[in-house]
Structure 1
Amino acid sequence: MVDPRTPVLVGVGQVSERLDSPGYQARSPVDLAADAARAALADAGVDASAVDTVAGVPQFEISLPWAVPPLGCSDNFPRSVAGRLGATPRRAVLEVGGGQAPQHLVNEFAAAIAAGRADVVLLFGSEAISTITALATTDSPPDFTERPGGSLEARGHGLDGIVSMHHVAHGLSDTPSQYALIENARRARLKVSRDDYAMAIGELFSPFTAVAAANPHAAAPVFRDAVSLVTPTAANRPIADPYTRYVVAREKVNQGAAVLLMSAGKARQLGVPESSWVFLAGHADLRERNLLERADYGTSPAAARAAQHALEIAEISSSDLTAIDLYSCYAAPVFIVAEALGIATNDARGLTVTGGLPFFGGPGNNYSMHAIASVVGRVRSAPGSYGFVGANGGIMSKHSTGVYTTIPYAFRPSRSEQIQAELDAVPAPAEALSADGPAVIETYTVKHLRDGRREGIVLGRLEDDGRRFVARADAVLDLLTAGEPIGERVTARSTTDGNVVVPR
């Protein structure tokens, strides 16, 4: 017998549309999320009137305090979606931004259900970036503004430790350049050449394209081999070394996904068949140090422990998993988490169930809601199997993980707070906001702008006191584009426009 307070996932839904697809409707983010939520309710055979809590994942355009939605937006996204469904939940939540959000919401509300603080929880998110980009400059763009009224628990933007104006001033204004710093540090630690590492990225992601090619919701359902993924062309331009356009998250998508959770007792009351029940067997939520506080840029102790701890709670090993989805905004998160789980990057089980963010699409903060929906489908179709979802937000900053199965599991609290305290207790190097003197390059990237210009960025350490710093590195571009720059000695100089590095 399953305890009536045990949380179960009973419904999932996904929707999508491409600009060139038959029947394209130019749906707003609210419309896409509502369609996905309807699908999740229909999957469970449950009426929207049963929902007592709704929680939405914010779109990119409302995730930043300075962003202005080009076509307007709802000022209460969760209530707008609930209104479309005819639901009148007592609680509406707008989650903090970040790719960890969908899995974190599952973890949080599974605990709330187990504790009796909720009975039926509907989670959803969406992006319509492709539609918004295409229609914003037309003569008669649609207006997606909504003001549904009602209460809202808005949790803020969650940018502390992720966005720094000091770092932005030195060129770290985009995610590709920051992940490229992680990627190059990892490459140097492994003592792999630039060409070999680029090919490793291609070999990692080529199987992802095969999954995307078979997924009706994928934004780019095209198979590509490893060479074509990493060879620069007019269509596959360099973004930030070592990335080309094909191997970074694709944000221009129109996609929505939703998950319905409830207590086992409520599921029985509402007549949800037990064959539809999926249990959260393990879970974890951890945060990585801020970028310049990390002991090794090429690893992520928080990501590794979040993945491992979810399996520990479920009392299984990675060899027990049959469906795996590792967050793939860039290659580094996949490499790092796969290594932590002891899974080869060419494992026959595959490392994505959707096709991954560069190929399935990266619907803002909501990608992992699609991963969860897909994993739920996989474990339902193979009763007794286990699925794993690893979600990542920020610059490998926030990590949420989940293990899913049809095998009944009582909800088990995680030790995330204790593990987090252990991670935070590790000493971190200090940062020099103004850097002067002899220095060593710890990692780097070269950004490739659309107009053909290049910008070098370096993270280094001052030799005198070991403090970390970020600097523009246009004066050493030749050093950064050949051989192995990491470990090379340079000179740091502070200027009125920030730090720069020049040849020693």
Structure 2
Amino acid sequence: MPSSRTPVVVGVGEVSERIGEPGYSRRSPVDLAADAARLALADAGVTASDVDTVACVPQFEISLPWATPLLGASDNLPRSVATRIGADPRRAVLETGGGQAPQHLVNEFAATIAAGGADVVLLAGSEAISTIGFYAGRDDRPDFAESPGGSLERRPSGLDGIVSMQHVAHGLSDTPSQYALIDNARRARRKMSRDEYASAIGYLFEPFTAVAAANPHAAAPVFRDAADLMTPTAANRPIADPYTRYVVARDKVNQGAAVLLMSVESARRLGVPEEKWVYLAGHADLRERMMAERADYDRSPAAERAAQHALELAGIASEQVSAFDLYSCFAAPVFIVADALEIAPDDPRGLTVTGGLPFFGGPGNNYTMHAIASTVVRMRAAPGTFGFVGANGGIMSKHSTGVYTTIPYEFQPSDSARIQTELDAIPAPDEAVTADGRAVVETYTVKHLRGGEREGIVLGRLDDSGRRFVARADAILDLLTDGDPVGESVTVRSTADGNVIA
């Protein structure tokens, strides 16, 4: 029997709406999160007055320091959600941004509950990017600004150690181009041609579209085969080689999700049926180095160890997992974690329970809250099985994992701190801010802009010092677009506008 302080997930909820469809009501991010929270409470059969802690995942426009909410936003998201549902928590937390945030919150507050620091914790998040984009600038736009008052623990943005101004200055200002560097390095390491790797991405994501097509909350519930996903068309334009629009995270969504955690003692006291209880059998939280400091661009030791350690804590192997949700903003994170878990991209169990970020939708930082909700539902439907959720923030920078099951598990602290120390001790290459001389290309991408322009970007190493550098590479666009540039010898020059490949 689990101890009285063992944390359990007892309620989950998801909501969504699409512009132009029946029932659309242009809900704000607060409305979507609150509606999902109501469903999570109803799922557990408890009232909002029982909640002592509300922790929210920030939407993009309030998690990025330079972003301005186009329709306004709450200045205390957790308190706004609490007010909507009739809760008066003693603690309100706005989490650090990043796709790891939902699973990190589960891991953190499971530990808090186990230690007696909370009894009933509501986690929620949402995005209304589709609605905000549609109404911004219109005369009939809604006003989403609100100030509920009350205390708030607002955590840092979490961009330290992720955003490199050196890389931004050379054109790596967007997420697709940075993930493309990882996928192109992986293609080269595996000695695959461009066509072979494009096919691999298509075949990876084809089953995801089938799951999304059956999910009522999916933003793009359409089945597409591998060829459709990777064939450039007017609707499926190239974004950053090797990606087309269909295989990158879809952020134009209106989606919200919530998860309710409580102690076994509280669950019994509040009368939550045991068939609703889902345990966190294993978990981990690890961080990767900055891009320029990674020993290999085609791997992520932090992602790999976070996945493995969660299973180690649960005492199971990947073969014993019945449902996976691997973070799928782009192909690289799925491939890398699947490799670490020794599961094939076409594993019949599937690699997503929602449809994935390109097809279900990527609601900002909150996607994994939906993955957790779907995993909990699956675990209840198949008692005694295990579900694995992997979450990723930044450029494969922050990793949080969880293993879920209806089998009673005492909460165990993870060994993430020790593992992080080991990861941090891995030697890191030095970076050359100004780069001159002969060099070798380590990875690359070509960005395709909406006007048809292309921008080439290379990460490489100088021959004489082995130091890393980033450079614009418009002079060798043909090689980057049609050739196989990884491993090629080039000349780099520093200029007033940054490093360039001659």
Same fold per TM (> 0.5)? yes
Q: Which residue of 2 aligns with 1:278?
A: 278
Is 1:468 the counterpart of 2:468? The answer is yes
1:29 aligns with 2:29: yes
Q: What is residue 76 of structure 1 aligned with on the other side?
A: 76
CA distance in 1, matches of 2:23, 2:37: 20
CA distance in 2, matches of 1:448, 1:112: 46
Determine helix, strand or coil for the equivalent of 2:125: strand
Deviation at 1:63, TM superposition (A): 1.2
Residue 447 of structure 2 aligns to a residue whose secondary structure is strand
Q: Tell me, in whole angstroms, the C-alpha distance in 1 between the residues paired with 2:160 and 2:167.
A: 13
Q: Secondary structure at the match of 1:207?
A: helix
Match of 2:340 in 1: 340
CA distance in 1, matches of 2:82, 2:156: 20
Tell whether 2:315 aligns with 1:312. no
Kindly provide the amino acid, as one letter, of the partner of residue 346 in structure 2. N
Answer yes or no: is 1:234 the counterpart of 2:234: yes
Cα drift, residue 2 of structure 1: 1.7
Q: Distance in 1 between matches of 2:364 and 2:203?
A: 25
2: CA distance between counterparts of 1:293 and 1:165? 14
Q: Could you say what secondary structure the match of 2:430 adopts? A: coil
- State the SS of the aligned residue for 2:482: coil
The 5 A counterparts of 1:128-277 are 128-277=128-277
- Describe the SS at the equivalent of 1:481: helix
> Could you report, residue by residue, the CA deviation over 1:36-67 in whole angstroms, capped at 9, with x for unpaired residues?
00000000001000111110000011111111
Residues 3-42 of structure 1, C-alpha deviations (whole Å, 9 max, x = no match): 0000000000000000022010000000000000000000
How far apart in 2 are the matches of 1:340 and 1:88? Answer: 43
Q: TM-score, normalised by structure 1?
A: 0.99
Aligned partner of residue 440 in structure 2, secondary structure:
strand
The 5 A counterparts of 1:390-469 are 390-469=390-469
SS at structure 1 position matched to 2:392: strand
Q: Counterpart of 2:364?
A: 364
- In structure 2, give the amino acid aligned to 1:107: N
Question: What letter matches 2:193 in structure 1?
Answer: S
CA distance in 2 between counterparts of 1:222 and 1:2 reads 43
Matching residue of 1:292? 292
Residue 325 of structure 1 corresponds to 325
Q: Deviations over 1:316-360 (max 9, x none)?
A: 000111111000000000000001001111010000000000000
Q: Secondary structure at the match of 2:67?
A: coil
Alpha-carbon offset, residue 162 of structure 1:
1.2
Question: In the alignment, which residue of structure 2 is the partner of 1:20?
Answer: 20
2:42 alignment partner in structure 1 = 42
Question: How far apart in 2 are the matches of 1:45 and 1:107?
Answer: 23
2:67 aligned partner: 67
For 2:298 and 2:410, how far apart are their aligned partners in 1?
36
State the identity %: 78
How far off its partner does 1:89 sit?
0.4
Partner residue, 2:377: 377
Distance (whole Å) between structure 1 residues aligned to residue 254 and residue 354 of structure 2: 15
Residue aligning to 1:387: 387
Q: String of CA shifts for 1:183-212, please: whole Å, max 9, x gaps.
A: 000000000000010000000000000000
2:404 match: secondary structure: strand
Distance in 1 separating the partners of 2:434 and 2:46: 59
2:115 matched to 1:115?
yes
Q: State the one-letter code of the partner of 1:384.
A: G
How far off is 1:137 after superposition? 2.3
CA distance in 1 between partners of 2:339 and 2:491 (Å): 35
1: CA distance, partners of 2:53 / 2:21: 34
Superposed counterparts of 1:84-103, under 5 Å: 84-103=84-103
Distance 1:203 1:323 in 2: 19
Confirm whether residue 55 of structure 1 aligns to residue 76 of structure 2: no
Cα drift, residue 483 of structure 1: 2.4
Please state whether the residue corresponding to 2:310 is helix, strand or coil: helix
Alpha-carbon separation, structure 1, partners of 2:409 and 2:417: 22
SS at match of 2:323: strand
3-state SS of paired residue (1:56): strand
Distance 2:290 2:165 in 1: 14
Equivalent-residue separation in structure 2 for 1:442 and 1:165 (angstroms): 20
Letter in structure 1 aligned against 2:338? A
- The AA in structure 1 aligned to 2:139 is D
1-structure distance, mates of 2:190, 2:63: 35
Say which is worse superposed, 154-163 or 390-399, in terms of deviation: 154-163
Offset at residue 149 of structure 1 (A): 0.6
Q: In the TM superposition, what is the alpha-carbon distance from 1:479 to its structure 2 partner?
A: 1.4
- The 4+ residue runs of structure 1 with deviation greater than 4 A are none
Unaligned 5+ runs, structure 1: none
Query: What amino acid is the match of 1:433?
Result: V
Question: What CA distance in whole angstroms lies between the structure 1 residues aligned with 2:312 and 2:270?
Answer: 32
TM-score (norm 2): 1.00
Aligned counterparts of 1:479 and 1:347: Cα–Cα separation in 2: 35
Kindly provide the amino acid, as one letter, of the partner of residue 376 in structure 1: V
- Secondary structure of the corresponding residue to residue 349 of structure 1: coil
Which whole-Å deviations, capped at 9, do the CAs of 1:403-458 have from their partners, x for residues lacking one?
A: 00000000011100000000000110000111111111000000000000000000
How many Å separate the matches in 2 of 1:453 and 1:68? Answer: 28
Shift of 1:163: 1.2
Gapped runs of 5+ residues in structure 2? none
Q: Which amino acid aligns with 2:166?
A: H
